[in-house]
Amino acid sequence: MKKLMLFILIAVSCNSCNLAKRSILGIDTSPEWLMGEELVKEFDKKKIPIENRFVLDTVSYRKSLIKYYSQELKTMDLSDANDSVYKSKLKKIVKDDSQPVQVRYFDSNYNQIFKVVNCYVDDPITMNWNVNNCFDAFPPKINIEDLNNDHKKLDFFLDHIYTIDGKKSTLETLPKADYYVIVFWNSFFKRPSRKLIKTLKEYENKHKGKSTYVMYVNNQNEQIWSKIDSTQKREILSQY
């Protein structure tokens, strides 16, 4: 499909990053809407096994974040100091959840035990995802407080994840494992996505004796959908 000129998309997606890093990061400022064979080709380029290929729903994930944030706010008494602190933490969580490239680990009870997102990777040249040596241990762990305040369970994300051929992902359809991993990646945050996938493959190979199931979730369309106008949306929908 033809490219969509979405310079505003990059600004929004990087709102917690240094925008001067865009060219160094290899960001595509006119990303393509991916579907069908185009999407398969992107997975093929990354040499991701067929059984580990997934796609994030274009609309529902962002709606769920808004709903989650709104519901949490309704329970708060902002005159209470503790609630005020929690609101600040919640904003950071939602901002992290919206980032284009991220990885999360869950235990066998589907509890989130680790996450790191693109804006915590400081060096745009090396793009070292081993932030604070988080991948030196198994399972990974990180001592950044903001990254340890999020306690969403795996099914929160599975509600918006499909196989590449359109089948819904659920806890029941997942293979049994001691750990589950969700990797959000795309084709416009090129270097962060490529580096994270490489890091994860090396890490999993190093710990291949562990029972881990990795879901490589392409979120390209989810990142694009909320930034395009109604005409572009109609054009996209007409192709399905």
- pLDDT tens-digit readout, 84-109: 666 677 778 888 888 889 999 999 99
Mean pLDDT in residue range 209-215 = 97
Domain count, the chain: 1
In a domain, 2, yes or no: no
- pLDDT tens-digit readout, 103-114: 999 999 999 999
- Measured from the Cβ of residue 224, the count of other Cβ atoms closer than 10 Å reads 22
In a domain, 116, yes or no: yes
Query: For residues 39 and 164, is the Cβ–Cβ distance under 8 A?
Result: yes
Residue 158 φ then ψ, to 5°: -60, -25
| Residue type, position 86, single letter | Y
User: Which one has a higher pLDDT value, 32 or 234?
Assistant: 32
- Range of the structural domain that residue 136 is part of: 7-237
Q: What pTM value is reported for the model?
A: 0.79
Lowest mean pLDDT among 2-16, 48-62, 124-138, 141-155: 2-16
In a domain, 1, yes or no: no
User: Alpha-carbon torsion 22, 28, 33, 38, what sign?
Assistant: negative
- pLDDT tens-digit readout, 133-191: 999 999 999 998 878 888 889 999 999 999 988 899 999 999 999 999 999 998 878 88
In a domain, 207, yes or no: yes
In a domain, 36, yes or no: yes
Q: What is the DSSP string of the chain?
A: --B---HHHHHHHTTTS-GGGHHHHTB-SSPBPP-THHHHHHHHHTT--GGGEEEE-TTHHHHHHHHHHHHHHHT--TTSHHHHHHHHHHHHHHHHHT-SSEEEEEETT-BEEEEEEGGG---TTT----GGGGGGSSS-----GGGGS---BHHHHHTTEEETTSPBP-TTTSPP-SEEEEEEE-SSBHHHHHHHHHHHHHHHHHTTTS-EEEEEEE-HHHHHHTTS-HHHHHHHHTT-
Q: Using pLDDT thresholds of 50, 70 and 90, give the confidence band for residue 238.
A: very low
In a domain, 183, yes or no: yes
In a domain, 167, yes or no: yes
